[in-house]
């Protein structure tokens, strides 16, 4: 079990999981976020709106869901992709710490339970019981569109495969794992974006092309995500090739 968590951390800080949480500290239980009326969901949305300077509740929700899927539950997706195991990231087992900056300070598990399980178990754990209900709660709370929220889920899940492919992961394995995950995924994620495989010189990796927008360009930072659907596919691929050649890992 320890080896799995160490392997995750080798791919970067976003995949680090604190383990054996206690009641102490400023952790927010993720199960509380599934209640659209909860104070905890309000805290998460307020923290991101202050950090990024978003202009509306629904734009904040779209930003949060993409970052959440790409950080909070991404470790479980990557653990299955590279080790064939499922980390228990049902919302009742996960907690987060807020950050004064865009994103989250930390992700933790109450019980660091890992099991050998098929992709269907991963989908149930990460999508059916966690990310998709969270998207629905945000829809109710902020009136953000469900398709756009699901687009953030799709983007965040794909990020685990794409980032790992550019940080030493086996690109063939990760591409095959992503295709298996996408085929099993619920929520129509297969219609919300596409993963492309690019190569520049001796560098190769997977990159995501979104079909929905998270509206992050409306924030105070006024920048678009590298996968933003407001840019043409050709422009995004050109940009991805550039960052691949430079050895940069875009978010």
Mapped onto helix, strand or coil, the DSSP state of residue 54 is coil
Residue 114 forms part of a structural domain: yes
Give pLDDT < 50 ranges for the chain. 251
Residue 196 forms part of a structural domain: yes
Mapped onto helix, strand or coil, the DSSP state of residue 147 is helix
Query: Given this model, what pLDDT does residue 188 score?
Result: 96
Alpha carbon 185 to chain centroid, angstroms:
14
Residue 84 forms part of a structural domain: yes
Residue 14 forms part of a structural domain: yes
Nearest to 149 by CA among 131, 124, 130: 131
Give me the phi and psi of 108, to 5 degrees please: -135, 160
Query: Given this model, what pLDDT does residue 92 score?
Result: 95
Judge residue 146's burial from the number of C-beta atoms within 10 Å of its C-beta, 0-12 exposed, 13-18 middle, 19 or more buried: middle
Domain range enclosing 173: 2-246
- pTM of the entire structure? 0.92
Mapped onto helix, strand or coil, the DSSP state of residue 14 is helix
Query: What distance in Å separates the CA atoms of residue 204 and residue 84, rounded to the nearest whole number?
Result: 23
Query: What distance in Å separates the CA atoms of residue 60 and residue 52, rounded to the nearest whole number?
Result: 9
Residue 208 forms part of a structural domain: yes
Nearest to 184 by CA among 114, 110, 81: 81
Residue 211 forms part of a structural domain: yes
Four-residue CA torsion sign, 104, 108, 109, 113: positive
Total number of domains in the chain:
1
Residue 251 forms part of a structural domain: no
Query: Given this model, what pLDDT does residue 23 score?
Result: 63
Residue 49 forms part of a structural domain: yes
């Amino acid at each position: 079990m320890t080896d799995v968590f160490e392997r995750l951390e080798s791919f970067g800080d976003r995949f680090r999981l604190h383990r054996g949480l206690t009641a102490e500290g400023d952790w927010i239980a993720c199960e509380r976020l599934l209640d659209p009326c909860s104070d905890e969901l309000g805290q998460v949305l307020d923290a991101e709106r202050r950090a990024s300077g978003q202009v509306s509740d629904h734009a904040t929700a779209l930003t949060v869901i993409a970052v959440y899927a790409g950080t909070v539950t991404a470790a479980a997706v990557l653990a299955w992709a590279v080790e064939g195991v499922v980390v228990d990231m049902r919302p009742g087992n996960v907690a987060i710490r807020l950050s004064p900056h865009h994103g989250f300070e930390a992700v933790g598990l109450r019980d660091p339970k890992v099991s050998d399980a098929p992709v269907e178990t991963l989908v149930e754990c990460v999508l059916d019981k966690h990310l998709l209900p969270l998207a629905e709660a945000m829809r109710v709370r902020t009136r953000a569109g469900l398709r756009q929220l699901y687009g953030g889920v799709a983007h965040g899940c794909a990020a685990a495969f794409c980032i790992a492919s550019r940080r030493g992961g086996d690109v063939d394995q990760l591409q095959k794992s992503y295709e298996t995950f996408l085929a099993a995924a619920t929520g129509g994620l297969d219609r919300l974006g596409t993963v492309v495989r690019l190569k520049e010189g001796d560098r190769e990796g997977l990159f995501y092309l979104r079909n929905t927008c998270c509206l992050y360009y409306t924030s105070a930072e006024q920048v678009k995500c590298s996968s933003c659907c407001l840019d043409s596919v050709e422009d995004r691929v050109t940009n991805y090739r550039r960052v691949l050649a430079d050895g940069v890992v875009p978010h």
